[in-house]
Structure 1
Amino acid sequence: MNEMLRRSWIHLLGTLFMVCAFIYLLKYTWSQSWVSEPLKIGLGLLVGAAGLIASFKLLERRRLAGELSAGLGVAVLYTTFAFAGIYFALWDSLTVFLCMLALTLGMSFLSYKLQLRLLMNLGLLGGLAAPMILRPETDQVFTLFLYLLVLNTAYFLISIRKQWTELRLTAFIGTWLLYAIYYVQFHPVSAGYWSLPFRYALSAFAFYVLALLLSSWACAKKFDGLNLYLGIVNAVIFGLWASAILDPSVSFAYPLGLMGLLYVLLALIVHRLEGAFTVPVLTKLFGGLLLLLIASVQFGKGWDIKPLVNVLLWLAVASGLLIAGKLRRLDTLRAAAAVIWLAVGCYWFATTWDTPWGIWFGVYLPFLNWAAFAWELLAAMGFYLSLHTDFARLREDDRRILSIALSLLSHLVVGGLLTLQMLNLIEYYRLGRWLDANLTLSLSWGVYALLLFLWGAYSRQQVYRAFGSIVLLCVAVKTLLFDLYGSETIYKIIVLFALGLLSYGIAYINSRWQRKRAPEPLTGSEANEMSQE
């Protein structure tokens, strides 16, 4: 590419000046009303066709002159189409599309077969320069972007097939520049979320995402270099336009979240194609996660339920990473999921107390509401992580310690779930007249201590016995020192009686557990044998 530009940039610039002169001639004659519009279009078609016909003769003897003649003819024809369909609206969108398609296919076929690289560059420059300089006074926006779609599709395909990288770069720059001209000149209405300017910007962004992915795949699966840089620039440009276009009443989190999910998906696709965590994969993965993080901060801004939305969103991200890591057997993704889970858990513990309950059916049902759902998802993911700590780089002892730590943290989540749901239940149904909130919490924690001992006995893990003992001691301290303060009530008696029964149950489980763990007594013959030895 550098060699071609070094040798031909003056010819490209000269042809561009010639095309601009022709464009301004069209505009000037229109402003002066010297020539009728149909006659101008006829002259443009005639001049463009003459340049193409002359090029066939020149290509045989003087290749450079032939390419210049063909390029000038193609550029004039593109200008004529733009003038007829975009600037003056003499042709409808379908007519412009068919003419553009025929010209572009013919030029692409000749350039591909005869290696006419300069012709492709001249045609692209002329095709992009025409609408930029004409600056249509009528709002033929659909025709303009249909025109750009044909140009980009053809030039990207040729760029991929022939490895002429300057074509995709020029088309990319020209398209976004034309979008800027369109938006600044016409001041289109961008009220609401799904406005036409946003749809056009989204279409351009999606086209280049797909085109650059296919380009990298076709080029021996090389996802770095120019395609990687253009992909980054494409995301930045679309993000800036989306922030400028969207109505202030619409959250910027929507396009950011969409982009984040898209780039995480692209990272997985590229990783599957390359089979390793290369720079393009990591760029897309961490870029997508960063966009999701920014979107989670923006999404629901001003809403009371924003903390709940953040938790559910990031748990979805962690779940996706966990599933991908499990399917692809990648410890890095599973570790990232565990880190996100821990961060989300800390965030939820800090914000849950002031977050709305998220009632589902118009009435508060404990453990069946959005807030409870967040707790339950956190606990489920934590327990799953604790059961799957088979990271390849960890020793067996480290895996066991990690599993215990994740399990204990998950049990803390369950404790938080019980606490909040019981408090919300008492508040919603106004049970404070009959139930003491502090004593009810103590009772629920006592039940939870019993469950911990039961789980420890079933799983034969000493750590749950220790954790259950800590919970039971906390319940005892809380009940005896704080909850019993004040006048005596029948509810206090009932709670104390229930806690006593729970303590007896825990003691029974503990004794049975210890008997099972103790060695069986030796028989007389076995004792004699041991003494003889």
Structure 2
Amino acid sequence: MNATFRKHWTSLLGVLLILTAFVTLFKYSIDQGWITDPMKIGLGLLCGAGLCVGGLALALHKRQTVTGEIIIGLGTSLLYATFSFAGIYYELWSSGSVFIGMIGITASLTAYAYRFDSRLLMNISFAGGLLSPLLMQPATDQVFALFLYLLVLNAAFFFLSIAKGWSELRIAPFFGSWLLYVVYFFHFDPPTEGLWSLPLRYALAAFVFYIAGFMISSWKNNRCFDGWNLYLSLANGMLFGFWAMLILDGDLHYGYVLAFLGVIYGIVGVLTYRFTGKIGLASAVPMLAGLMLLLIAATHLGSGMETKPIVSVFLWGGIAVLLAWGARRYPGGLLLNVGAVGIWLIVGIYWYIVTWDTPRGEWFGTYIPFLNSGAAAWMLLSALGFYFSLNRVVPFGNDKTQELLSQIFALFAHLIVGGLLTLQIENAFEEYAPDSAEMSLSLTLSVVWGVYALLLFLWGAYRRQMTFRWFGSAVLLFVAFKAIFLDLSGEQVLYKVLVLLILGGMSFLATWINGKWRTENQPAAESENLRNDVFDRHS
């Protein structure tokens, strides 16, 4: 390709100059009113098609192949200019007509280039296709037609770039399309109010297209994810991030844009690792970039919003989940586990402090207990705690030390469950029974905490840990004291009697759990004692 380009770059320049002259003549004829618009379109289609047919006839002769392809490139450039004039410069054609015409010309061009390996033809045609809308800057907004125009061009050129390994056919469309975005943004000065304005949609569409295109290109190129694909993927994120923050300024904090990019590049890094099976530059760079963006965004997300604590819990909890997942997937992930546990502890303490004054985070316009953002935050933190406890993710010291750490993690997770139950019941009374006596809430909490004590007993039985038997006993004693000495004042006698009966039943159930626990563990304990006795006799 380099030798061909050095030999024929003047031909490419000549095509661009002729096309520029053609476009300039088009615009000048409009100002002078020499010929009608349908005549201009007909002349453009006739000249473009004639050049394509003549060039094809020459290209089929081996000695005239290059000359024929240059003429075909000039013809397709004139056709692209005609489509730009009819559908973008003036709304003489509908967006659908432009789309169908572009598909027909570009598909024919792509088929020829694929069949005859005509790299020069594709470069000439792309230069003409990009230059036409760049020179024709209309007075009216026909951006959707331009979007379809660029979509067809990019899809065809990316296809050939991947199929033939012609890297310039994905590099040039990438920079050319973003250049057109810049030119048209400042030319039209479109409205950017709101979170879902048209400029943002077009920028997002370009970002997603190129992210997917570079990933597919890397996959097809023997799973080679570094080089130009990596650099252009990062440049794509920087360009989209800049325009998204510019467009959303005043409507959405830039931290959300950074968080979105962080998630996308984290996914790209993980997929790259899955495809390549190793941690290399191509997978590490997107993952580290995504993590850095998330950490930067974390300090800003939710700023100025009452729900910022909930947003922070989900964000940092999600980071802890990713770190724990990474430690589980990759050997030697101790530092990742330590980081995950540290984040979980800090966020858990933070949430316990701020949750009481944080909005409930209703999902459906009304409060539903345990189906709201606040409850989901509690559940995320408790699930992490139980995971850390069950998997002993921090293998420090001997078995006793690890067992102690496991119990501490589980204890903290149970405290989070207790906070979840308490806050959800309080919010339910506030929403559905605001006029009920405070004593009703107090008695209901006694029952809920009694259930919580049973859960502690069950966890202790499941894990065979005395700590939770003691903790459950302490909670049950506290609930009994509260029910007998604090909840008996005032009226609502029947309700209090019912609560006391329920708590009494829970106490008997706790006794049964303890008895069953001892029965199941007794044979093991007796065997251990027997071994100790035998050892003492022999010694």
- Range class of TM-score, shorter chain: 0.7 to 0.9
SS of the residue 2:91 aligns to: coil
For residue 214 of structure 1, what is the aligned residue in structure 2?
A: 216
Q: Retained in 2: the 8 A contact 1:390–1:399?
A: no
For residue 493 of structure 2, what is the aligned residue in structure 1?
A: none
Q: Retained in 1: the 8 A contact 2:309–2:354?
A: yes
- Shift of the 157–453 alpha-carbon distance from structure 1 to 2, 3 Å rule, reads closer
- How many residues were matched structurally? 514
Q: Retained in 1: the 8 A contact 2:259–2:293?
A: yes
- Shift of the 390–85 alpha-carbon distance from structure 1 to 2, 3 Å rule, reads same
The letter of the residue matching 2:147 is F
Deviates more, 1:424-433 or 1:190-199: 424-433
1:40 is aligned to 2:43:
no
Q: Retained in 2: the 8 A contact 1:331–1:392?
A: no
After superposition, the C-alpha distances for 1:248-275 in whole angstroms (9 at most, x for unaligned) are 3345566555444443433343332222
- Shift of the 404–8 alpha-carbon distance from structure 1 to 2, 3 Å rule, reads farther
Please point out which of 383, 387, 400 is paired with 2:390: 387
- Shift of the 443–124 alpha-carbon distance from structure 1 to 2, 3 Å rule, reads closer
For residue 167 of structure 2, what is the aligned residue in structure 1?
A: 165
The letter of the residue matching 1:56 is A
1:49 is aligned to 2:49:
yes
The letter of the residue matching 1:117 is R
For residue 486 of structure 2, what is the aligned residue in structure 1?
A: none
For residue 147 of structure 2, what is the aligned residue in structure 1?
A: 145
Give the Cα–Cα distance (whole angstroms) in 2 for the partners of residues 462 and 183 of structure 1: 68
For residue 212 of structure 1, report the CA deviation from its aligned partner. 1.5
For residue 95 of structure 1, what is the aligned residue in structure 2?
A: 97
For residue 305 of structure 1, report the CA deviation from its aligned partner. 1.9
- Shift of the 466–66 alpha-carbon distance from structure 1 to 2, 3 Å rule, reads same
**After superposition, where does 1:285-364 map in structure 2 within 5 Å?**
285-293=287-295, 297-316=299-318, 318-319=320-321, 332=333, 335=337, 337-338=340-341, 340-358=343-361
For residue 203 of structure 1, what is the aligned residue in structure 2?
A: 205
After superposition, the C-alpha distances for 1:151-209 in whole angstroms (9 at most, x for unaligned) are 11111101111111111111111111111222211122233222222222222222112
Q: Retained in 2: the 8 A contact 1:386–1:404?
A: yes
Deviates more, 1:233-242 or 1:244-253: 244-253
For residue 242 of structure 2, what is the aligned residue in structure 1?
A: 240
Give the Cα–Cα distance (whole angstroms) in 2 for the partners of residues 444 and 17 of structure 1: 81
Give the Cα–Cα distance (whole angstroms) in 2 for the partners of residues 318 and 77 of structure 1: 55
For residue 66 of structure 1, what is the aligned residue in structure 2?
A: 68
After superposition, the C-alpha distances for 1:69-103 in whole angstroms (9 at most, x for unaligned) are 23222222211221122113333323322322222
After superposition, the C-alpha distances for 1:311-347 in whole angstroms (9 at most, x for unaligned) are 1344355456656876x67775973654543443244
- Shift of the 460–48 alpha-carbon distance from structure 1 to 2, 3 Å rule, reads closer
For residue 375 of structure 1, what is the aligned residue in structure 2?
A: 378
The letter of the residue matching 1:381 is L
Give the Cα–Cα distance (whole angstroms) in 1 for the partners of residues 131 and 213 of structure 2: 22
SS of the residue 2:392 aligns to: coil
Deviates more, 1:380-389 or 1:153-162: 380-389
Q: Retained in 2: the 8 A contact 1:426–1:432?
A: no
For residue 495 of structure 1, what is the aligned residue in structure 2?
A: none
Identity percentage over the alignment? Answer: 45
1:407 is aligned to 2:410:
yes
- Shift of the 365–9 alpha-carbon distance from structure 1 to 2, 3 Å rule, reads closer
Q: Retained in 2: the 8 A contact 1:87–1:140?
A: yes
The letter of the residue matching 1:386 is S
Give the Cα–Cα distance (whole angstroms) in 1 for the partners of residues 82 and 323 of structure 2: 52
Q: Tell me how large the CA RMSD over aligned residues is.
A: 5.1
Q: Retained in 1: the 8 A contact 2:193–2:251?
A: no
Give the Cα–Cα distance (whole angstroms) in 2 for the partners of residues 38 and 250 of structure 1: 45
The letter of the residue matching 2:222 is A
Q: Retained in 1: the 8 A contact 2:41–2:82?
A: yes
- Shift of the 198–521 alpha-carbon distance from structure 1 to 2, 3 Å rule, reads closer
TM-score by length of 1: 0.75
After superposition, the C-alpha distances for 1:221-271 in whole angstroms (9 at most, x for unaligned) are 111111111111112212222222237334556655544444343334333
**After superposition, where does 1:55-134 map in structure 2 within 5 Å?**
56-57=57-58, 60-134=62-136
The letter of the residue matching 1:344 is V
For residue 497 of structure 1, what is the aligned residue in structure 2?
A: none
For residue 454 of structure 1, report the CA deviation from its aligned partner. 8.2
- Shift of the 434–223 alpha-carbon distance from structure 1 to 2, 3 Å rule, reads same
For residue 189 of structure 1, what is the aligned residue in structure 2?
A: 191
- Shift of the 331–394 alpha-carbon distance from structure 1 to 2, 3 Å rule, reads farther
- 5+ residue gaps, structure 2: 483-488, 491-503, 505-509
Give the Cα–Cα distance (whole angstroms) in 2 for the partners of residues 449 and 18 of structure 1: 85
For residue 297 of structure 1, report the CA deviation from its aligned partner. 4.8
Give the Cα–Cα distance (whole angstroms) in 2 for the partners of residues 49 and 393 of structure 1: 76
Q: Retained in 2: the 8 A contact 1:376–1:414?
A: yes
Deviates more, 1:111-120 or 1:122-131: 111-120
Give the Cα–Cα distance (whole angstroms) in 1 for the partners of residues 395 and 112 of structure 2: 56
- Shift of the 161–358 alpha-carbon distance from structure 1 to 2, 3 Å rule, reads closer
Q: Retained in 1: the 8 A contact 2:378–2:417?
A: yes
After superposition, the C-alpha distances for 1:461-486 in whole angstroms (9 at most, x for unaligned) are 466689899999xx9xxx9xxxxxxx
The letter of the residue matching 1:134 is M
After superposition, the C-alpha distances for 1:292-315 in whole angstroms (9 at most, x for unaligned) are 455555544322121023213443
For residue 148 of structure 1, report the CA deviation from its aligned partner. 0.7
Q: Retained in 2: the 8 A contact 1:16–1:126?
A: yes
Give the Cα–Cα distance (whole angstroms) in 2 for the partners of residues 101 and 137 of structure 1: 26
SS of the residue 2:278 aligns to: coil
- Shift of the 171–454 alpha-carbon distance from structure 1 to 2, 3 Å rule, reads closer
SS of the residue 1:181 aligns to: helix
Give the Cα–Cα distance (whole angstroms) in 1 for the partners of residues 76 and 434 of structure 2: 78
The letter of the residue matching 1:57 is L
For residue 496 of structure 2, what is the aligned residue in structure 1?
A: none
Deviates more, 1:213-222 or 1:329-338: 329-338
- Shift of the 379–18 alpha-carbon distance from structure 1 to 2, 3 Å rule, reads same
SS of the residue 1:40 aligns to: helix
Q: Retained in 2: the 8 A contact 1:15–1:122?
A: yes
TM-score by length of 2: 0.75
The letter of the residue matching 2:347 is V
For residue 380 of structure 1, report the CA deviation from its aligned partner. 2.6
Q: Retained in 1: the 8 A contact 2:58–2:67?
A: no
For residue 372 of structure 1, report the CA deviation from its aligned partner. 4.8
Give the Cα–Cα distance (whole angstroms) in 2 for the partners of residues 528 and 271 of structure 1: 56
